[in-house]
Amino acid sequence: MAALRLRRKAQATAGRPQRVKDRRKRLTLTPPEGVPLHLDIASLGARFGAQFVDLVITTIGLVLVLLAFVYAGFASPDALGAISAFLLLLIGAPYYIITELLMNGRTFGKRMLGLRVVSKDGSGLSTHQIVVRNLTKEVEVFVPVSFLMTGQGASPWFVVAMLAWLVFVFAVPIRNKANQRIGDLIADTAVVLTPKPLLLADVAGQADATARERFVFSSAQLDLYGAYELQVLERLLRGGEASRPGPERYAGLAKIGQSIRAKIGYEETVSPAEEEAFLQSFYVAQRSYLEQKKLMGEARADKFHREDDTPRIDAASHTTASAPTQEKGTRP
Amino acid sequence: MSERADLIRSSRFRAEREADWKRLGEIVERAETLGLSRLDFDDARDLVLLYRQATNSLSVAREISLDSAVATYLESLCARAYLVIYAPRASLAGLFSRFFTRSGPAAVRRSYRAILVAYLLLAAGAVAAYLLTQNDPNWFYAFVPGDLAGGRGPRASAEALEKMIYGEGDNQLGQLGAFAAYLFSHNTKVSLFAFALGVVFCVPSVLLILYNGAVLGAFVEIHAAKGLGVDFFGWLSIHGVTELSAVAIATAGGLSLGYAMLFPGRRTRGAALRHAGRDAVKLAIVAALMLIAAGLLEGFGRQLVTDFWARIAIGWGIGLLWLAWFALAGRNAAPAQSPNLAVAH
């Protein structure tokens, strides 16, 4: 969330160095409870993957049912032709509609790849939306592809028109902010990654009280950094990229500790063994300080919070409804 | 937790609520794997309550906490719980019965104007093609594509045409095979495109149904010219009543979409299209069902039933049944929508 806000901010203030390389597309849903949720949009690769799995599953199912009919003695070719034609109809839109309806917006393929369909307006996915997005898929993709695959003797213009149509159909989700295909646009749905809740330990809880009494920071020292630096430090303490406890990690911590001490003007020397305790104490003190500031209406996004007084209000007014009040506070 | 009395505010906030969040996570996990209906009583009772608390925590955490772990976790947790709680809850049986008894025929009744227009266009195409082919038989080849004619044409002898009508031709597939070949044939394609392309301001739908009418008119003319008009009428009736009605209804769906694009009224075009889409989609489903029925009639009926009057009776009888379904089903049901739809709007 904070990262998202940062990214928006980074976009809003172009002069700043852009630090967050997170370029994933996100969807903001507002459920009836009124608290906006941000979901990761499924990539086109994942969606093709899910579609492929569904095609494999339905084809296997089709073949198995046909084999069962052959085995049961219904072997007349005419009957088989009719049955397979009927099954071919069923594994089109009806398969997708029924699975998405019964499995809460997931076909078997989507389930396997951790995707699901959501309604963009934040209310529950309705039957109508599921029917529309899958009926449209029939017109969008299945029918042109089957024409191209079976269309012997079709005029070349027809083939070209179908190919152009397919290019258009695939260009729409690439251009779209939420990777919506035409059917998604009509049904007002989007495909997102199923969120996986994972609660990491609280870094502030790891700092023990004695260390926090040993390292004390003045408010002038805590005035320098903002939320972004705090969260960089949080990632570092949590392990981040180099999570193995070892000499490299301690060397990294020592380096960070030194640069922080240099920046905030911390006089005391810290022994290498105490380095982690120092950083943890600093984290707790800094977070508590910033949270206090935030509570009083002064959210500090990063260490540049002193420099920009006027553009800050502009940037804040562009942020979403997720944080309507926090950045608009008056500063002392 | 007593030694944590010195924790900073946001850590206390988290410590106090963490157990509830974990429990919500477990309930959601169970609901996803077992299904909502198989949750035990306590879980089912607490699910929504815990979800509300978690969304509350999320909005508070965004304001007061700089612990990114909490915000990220709560966001995923709430999203997950939201997806479980606001899942589509319609049963398939309920869905089908609602469609057949209420919403399907109601949509057809509401769209009667578009359907009438589609029938009129079909008739106009047929009359025009009839007159043109009467003047110059070569028009037949302009209207009817080769694979659809199947050996029939202005130059075919009356006997050959009669054989076709009464099913003694040598090009007959098996009864079911005819159905299979039929399902993906001409009229299904026409219906599909007339529906889908209607969005482009009605133009493709109008052209397609005029063309379909023209094919019909051309066929009628070559048979009528050989004095087989009545026989052709019987041959066509058995499946054609259903089939051409399906084409007309699908076209009506396309027309209503195109109408919404042309005259959105006070809505935006997108909103008007979505609104028209609610009925249009139902028309498309009705048309698909009718096409399947027509396929069955064509596959079995046309070759099995060769008696003229029986053909007329079956064809128009089934047409009357469709009409009765559209006109009568779910008339007195109040426009009560499903809970799901009510949520959506």
Average pLDDT, chain B: 79
Residues B81 and B135 in one domain: no
8 A C-beta contact, residue B111 and residue B326 = no
Range of weakest confidence among A74-83, A236-245, B285-294 = A236-245
Residues B15 and B124 in one domain: no
pLDDT number for residue B339: 43
Residues B107 and B61 in one domain: no
Residue scoring higher pLDDT (B182 or A110) = A110
How many Å apart are CA B8 and CA B130, to the nearest integer?
88
pLDDT number for residue A286: 84
Tokens of A19: 């630090």
8 A C-beta contact, residue A88 and residue A62 = yes
In SS3 terms, B289-339 reads as HHHHHHHHHHHHHHHHCCCHHHHHHHHHHHHHHHHHHHHHCCCCCCCCCCH
Phi, psi of A196 (to 5 degrees): -115, 105
Number of structural domains chain B divides into = 2
CA B204 to chain centre: 19
Name the most confidently modeled range: A9-13, A167-171, A312-316. A167-171
Residues B118 and B136 in one domain: yes
How many Å apart are CA A151 and CA A166, to the nearest integer?
15
Range of weakest confidence among A38-42, A213-217, A227-231, B41-45 = A213-217
Residues B98 and B77 in one domain: no
Listed residue (A16, A60, A82, A111) closest to A305, CA to CA: A16
Residues B34 and B145 in one domain: no
Could you tell me whether strands A189-193 and A26-29 are parallel, antiparallel, or unpaired per DSSP bridges?
A: unpaired
Among B32, B50, B85, the domain boundary falls at B85
Residues B277 and B225 in one domain: yes
Domain that holds residue B17: 2-85
The stretch A269-275 carries a mean pLDDT of 74
User: Å from A267 to nearest chain B CA?
Assistant: 25
3-state secondary structure of B91: coil
pLDDT number for residue B143: 76
pLDDT number for residue A307: 64
A116 contacts in chain B (CB < 8 Å): 83
* Contact check, Cβ <8 Å, B18/A199: yes
A106 contacts in chain B (CB < 8 Å): none
**B130 shares contact with chain A (CB less than 8 Å):** no
Name the most confidently modeled range: A50-59, A71-80, A249-258. A50-59
**A112 shares contact with chain B (CB less than 8 Å):** no
pLDDT of A15 over the 50 cut: no
> ∠ CA(B272), CA(B276), CA(B280), 5° rounding?
155
pLDDT number for residue B166: 64
Among B20, B51, B85, the domain boundary falls at B85
Residues B69 and B118 in one domain: no
List per-block mean pLDDT (blocks of 10 residues) for chain B, which spans 345 residues.
61 88 91 84 90 91 83 90 84 84 87 91 91 83 66 66 58 47 65 80 86 85 80 79 88 90 85 85 88 77 72 86 86 54 40
| Residue-range domain boundaries for chain A | 40-193, 201-332
How many Å apart are CA B187 and CA B212, to the nearest integer?
8
pLDDT number for residue B185: 65
pLDDT number for residue A156: 80
CB atoms within 10 A of CB A23: 6
Tokens of B275: 């609104």
Q: What are the start-end ranges of the E strands in A25-98?
A: 26-29, 37-40
Residues B145 and B173 in one domain: yes
Residues B180 and B273 in one domain: yes
